[in-house]
Every structure is written in structure tokens, then in C-alpha cells.
Structure 1
Amino acid sequence: MDFVNIILLSLIQGITEFLPISSSAHLIIFSEIINNSNQDITVDVFAHFGTLLAVIWYFREDLIKILRTYKISEVNNLGNCLIIGTLPILFFGFFLRDIIEVNLRNQNVIVFSMIFFGILLLIFEYLRGNRNLEDLTWKDSIILGLFQTFAMIPGASRSALVIMGAFYLGFRSIDALKISFLFATPTLALIFLGENYLINFEYKINILELLLVVFFSFLTACITIHFFLKLVNKIGLLPFVIYRFLLAGILVFT
């Protein structure tokens, strides 16, 4: 993969990972455009690692607080909630990973997911309430984790699904976003660790390329997180739903 494509892929991952528009769908589309499908999984994994570093850096104070106050005996402790919320995607991902990679990484699935989950996102936004992050319980985390499992479908969007789950549970918009970001930390870590183990045996890796992917996806993701948090209360999620519909339409007619 040449330098220009590395930059483009990193920008795509950094921008789309935390927006409710599906990073996996955009990476699949990009790989088809540049005819580089054989390297999809390897580069995708390290692009996700860059965004993992970004969310850790941006929310470092929150994460440090979570670590300092963590008590395994307190089931509603935020740290335990993040762990509990990650278990469903860990379980289903273990059993369904190969099926999804073989059968669902295609344009038809992306088009359907973009439209279907876009409609759901618009509907669920009207369910948001006044709960904040401090109200999160382990029972909420199970529900959020189940929502998050559908993110394995290309085009669904992990961010969109966790936000929808948070709206369903009555959280405010800004807190729904923050929950989505915090849930991304263990989830992206699992993606990187699990897939990295596999690609060490399955693919040839150009270290310089992957380092560039990590750096640029990290930088772009930090900027995206910052502006998304500031803008969502002003513009809502409708612009992202419209974008999902437009992208689906473009894919259908091209």
C-alpha cells in the first residue's frame, strides 16, 4: 500500500470510528476502491489500534479515575460496568467472527445496514432522557453490550449501536456519547489483541506502513472525538443519518 493510500485509510478510520456511520463499512469500501482486499484485516486492525490510543488519550483522566476507584466487589462501579458491557461482544465475536468475515463483508450488507440502523438511530434519539454517566448500572451494561454485538455487522456502527442503547436506557445525548467512547476502550483493545494474534500467522506485515496507519488514525480520531462531543448537542444525529442514507444510495447506483 502506498503512502497516499495509507494516509487516506488512516483518515477514514480516525473519522468514522467514533461517528455513528460505521468505520468497518468505510474501510471495506476503501479497500475495494484501491483493489487491496488481501490486506484488509491487517491494516484494519492497526487502524483500530490508533483509534484505541486516541480514546485512551482523550479520556485519560476518566480512565485513570476508573482505575483508581475500581473495586471488584462493587458491581455498579464504572470499571465493572465496562467489563460487563464487553462480555457479549467477546462471546459472540469468538463464535461468529469467521462467519461474518466470509459472508457479511460485502456491499449488499453495507447498504442494508446503513439504511436499517440509520432509521433505528433516528427513532432511538427520541427516547433519550435525563440520566447521566453516574447512573450507569451493571444491568444497563448488559443491555448496552447486547446492542454493541450488532456492530459486528458491517455498516451497523459500534458507536451508533451503543448510543442507541444509551438512548433506550434514558441517558442524555452527551452522556450517551461518553458511554460510547468509554465502551470503545475495552472493545477496541479486544479487537486489536485478538486479530493481531491471528495476523501474526496469516499475513506478511510491513511494519513502517502499520506504524503510519496507527499514527494518522490516532491523530484524526483525537480531532474527531473533540468536535463530535462539542457539536452533537447543537446538530443532533440527523446529519449522520442523512449521510448513511446518501452513502447507501451511492453504493446502490454505482
Structure 2
Amino acid sequence: MSTWQAIILAIVEGLTEFLPVSSTGHMIIASSLMGINELPITKIFEVNIQFGAILSVVVLYWRRFVQGLDFYKKLLLAFLPAAVIGFALNDLIDAMLESVAITAVMLMLGGIVLLFVDKWFSNATRENVTYKNALVIGFFQCIAMIPGVSRSAASIIGGLSQGVSRKAAAEFSFFLAVPTMLAAAGYKLVKDLLKLEISDLVKFDLVKIKNSFEVIHQEDIELLLIGNVVAFVVAMVAIRFFISFLTKYGFKMFGYYRIALGLTLLALLAMGVDLKV
């Protein structure tokens, strides 16, 4: 992977991670068109640069992250369903992630849902998220374990279903992304990049940990650093744009976009283009 390819993937990640459009679908197209979808570093890179995107939320909303224990209790409650279900169904989730067809179909189905979300939840105006709301949002987020659903879309719709306003639901979705993506990206980083098991870390096996870091190439570290910086900057811009756009116009345009993207993926598959998640 070259530096410019890393930058392009990081821009795609930053633009799509917090929008209800599925970053997975965009990563498939971007990496495949650049011919790097088969490289081992690509999947590791795509997971790792999520740390930069996560940091953008913390920086933009830092006041919310220092406002008190109640905030973290709600985040923990919303995070638990994904933690439990994700751990229990890890093998099934990994198997689904290998299917570009599933991603494409779910992009289109999710797009159809977004066409009607504004009408369905027109009375969602409450600005605060209760403990019950947080738990429900957490279960909605689990739907995004199916590739192509979009974690952002699922959790925001979960908030709207509880009467929470678009802006408040979107912001809580951003906050929930921090523990969720941190856990998922951290696990993938340890497993795929360092080739370690969680038990090695629990046992604090210094020999295995040391050996794992020694096999990482310097150029890979540089690409990961560049990617995280780019994803951080782009995600900050994307989040501000999304909140403004969502408040004024709602979800319909994202719905049309998802349907078009899903059709694009299916068309590429039909033409025999080698697409890999």
C-alpha cells in the first residue's frame, strides 16, 4: 500500500464512519478500485484508522466527556448489548463480513428505511437520552453487526424510535461509537496485527507481546499514523456537516445514496470485479 492509497482510504473512513451510509461498503469499493483489497495490511489499516475517527468525537465533544458519571453510565448501558452479542456471535459476524453481496443488499434495504424515517418519527423531539433509551439504542446498534447496515444509522434510528430528536440521537450515536469502535478496533488490532490472543494480554505474556511488536514493519507503522491523522481531520469535518445537514433536511438523501451504492456493488459483482471486504 502506497502513501496516497492510505490517504484515500483514510479520507473514505473519515467521511463515512459517522454518516448513515455504511463505511464498510465504501471501503470495499475504494480498496478494490485501487487494487489493494487482497493485501494483508489493508484490512488491518481499515480497522486501525478508526482510532483517528474516534478521537475526532472526543475532541469535538470534549465537554460532554467531562460532564459527569451519569453520561458514562448511559454509554456503558448502551455499549453492553454489542459487547455481549458481538462476543457470542463473533464467528458468524466474521463470516458475514466476507460477503460483499450481503453488504450490498443491506445497503439498499437500509436506504429504503431511511427514505421513510423522517415521516415515521416526525414527533421525535426530546433532547435528553434516558437510561431506558440508551439500552434500546444499544440493541439497535447490534443490527449493524450485519455488514452494510451502518452502525450510525442503526443507533440513530434506535434513538428516534424512543422519541429522541435527530440531533440528540445523532450525537448519542457519536458518543456510543467511542467505546464500541474502541473495543472492536482494539480487538482486531491485537488479533490481526499483533497476532495475539486476549489470553496473552491477560496473562501479560511479555515474550509473546515483545515478539509481536518486533515483526511490525516500520513502513506499516508510518502508514497507520498517516491514516489516523487524516481520518481524524476528515471525521471532524464530516460530523459537523452531518449534524447541520440532518437538522435541516433529514435522512432521505442518505437513503437514495445508499440504494445507489448498493446497486453499484451488485453491478460490480455481476461484471466479475474482484471485491473483498
One-letter identity of the residue aligned with 2:141? Q
One-letter identity of the residue aligned with 1:117? G
CA RMSD between the two structures: 1.7
CA apart distance, 1:152 = 1.5
Matched residue SS, 1:253: helix
CA apart distance, 1:186 = 1.2
| Count of residue pairs brought into register by the alignment | 244
| Alpha-carbon distance between aligned partners in 1 of 2:229 and 2:258, rounded to the nearest angstrom | 27
One-letter identity of the residue aligned with 1:16? T
* Corresponding position of 1:244: 258
Of 172-181 and 101-110, more deviation after overlay is shown by 101-110
| Alpha-carbon distance between aligned partners in 1 of 2:122 and 2:136, rounded to the nearest angstrom | 15
* Corresponding position of 1:74: none
Deviations 1:146-175, CA, capped at 9 Å, x for gaps? 110111221110000011111111111111
CA apart distance, 1:130 = 4.3
| Alpha-carbon distance between aligned partners in 2 of 1:239 and 1:107, rounded to the nearest angstrom | 23
Q: 1:197 to 1:171 in 2, by over 3 A?
A: same
* Corresponding position of 1:20: 20
CA apart distance, 1:178 = 1.0
* Corresponding position of 2:237: 223
Determine if contact 1:124/1:168 at 8 Å carries over to the other structure: no
Q: Which runs of 4+ in 1 moved over 4 A?
A: 202-205
* Corresponding position of 1:141: 134
* Corresponding position of 1:189: 182
TM-score between the two structures when normalised by the length of structure 1: 0.90
Matched residue SS, 1:156: coil
Note the residue ranges of structure 2 that are not aligned, 5 or more in a row. 197-214, 269-277
Determine if contact 1:128/1:173 at 8 Å carries over to the other structure: no
1:1-254 correspondence to structure 2 within 5 Å: 1-33=1-33, 34-37=35-38, 38-65=40-67, 69-70=68-69, 77-126=70-119, 127-134=121-128, 136-198=129-191, 199-201=193-195, 204=216, 206-254=220-268
| Alpha-carbon distance between aligned partners in 1 of 2:80 and 2:257, rounded to the nearest angstrom | 31
Q: Percent identity?
A: 30
| Alpha-carbon distance between aligned partners in 1 of 2:222 and 2:91, rounded to the nearest angstrom | 28
| Alpha-carbon distance between aligned partners in 2 of 1:95 and 1:25, rounded to the nearest angstrom | 24
Matched residue SS, 1:15: helix
CA apart distance, 1:132 = 3.2
CA apart distance, 1:204 = 4.7
Note the residue ranges of structure 1 that are not aligned, 5 or more in a row. 71-76
Determine if contact 1:125/1:167 at 8 Å carries over to the other structure: no
Of 27-36 and 155-164, more deviation after overlay is shown by 27-36
TM-score between the two structures when normalised by the length of structure 2: 0.83
Determine if contact 1:49/1:214 at 8 Å carries over to the other structure: yes
Q: 1:162 to 1:103 in 2, by over 3 A?
A: closer
| Alpha-carbon distance between aligned partners in 2 of 1:15 and 1:215, rounded to the nearest angstrom | 13
